[in-house]
């Protein structure tokens, strides 16, 4: 049990000893829940790739993930202005 918690959460033994006992037991109980969720997701993924339409499933995963960062044209222009200004500052030295 201790080894499972250490491994799953990538804790050192000294970090584990600092945990309250309640926290340790909750972490231990949740290992199987998290693994079951990961296994279920993998099974769905594999079944969609084998039986369904992999492209549609990939699109569904992209929608679920959401937009991580959106770079607009204005952001690009501002970044370019900053880069040019930094370059000019270096050249003027």
Contacts of 49 (CB under 8 A, 6+ apart): 57
Question: What pLDDT score does 71 carry?
Answer: 83
C-alpha–C-alpha distance, residues 60 and 48, integer Å: 11
Is pLDDT larger for residue 38 or for residue 69? Answer: 38
Give the start-to-end residue ranges of the domains of the chain. 2-68
Q: From 26, 25, 82, 63, select the one nearest 55 (Cα to Cα).
A: 63
Q: What is the pLDDT of residues 15-59, one digit of tens each?
A: 999 999 999 999 998 999 899 988 988 888 888 778 877 777 778
Band of residue 14 on the pLDDT scale cut at 50, 70, 90: very high
Contacts of 11 (CB under 8 A, 6+ apart): 5
Give percent of the chain above pLDDT 90. Answer: 34
The CB-side HSE value for 82 (13 A sphere, CA atoms) comes to 6
Question: What pLDDT score does 22 carry?
Answer: 93
Q: Is pLDDT above 90 for 64?
A: no
pTM (predicted TM-score): 0.51
């Amino acid at each position: 049990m201790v080894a499972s918690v250490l491994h799953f959460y990538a804790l050192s033994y000294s970090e584990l000893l600092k945990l309250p006992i309640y926290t340790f037991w909750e972490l231990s109980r949740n290992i199987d829940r998290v693994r079951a969720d990961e296994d279920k997701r993998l099974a769905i993924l594999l079944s969609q790739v084998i039986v369904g339409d992999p492209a549609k499933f990939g699109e569904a995963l992209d929608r679920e993930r959401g937009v991580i960062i959106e770079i607009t044209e204005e952001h690009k222009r501002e970044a370019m202005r900053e880069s040019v200004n930094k370059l000019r500052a270096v050249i003027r030295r």
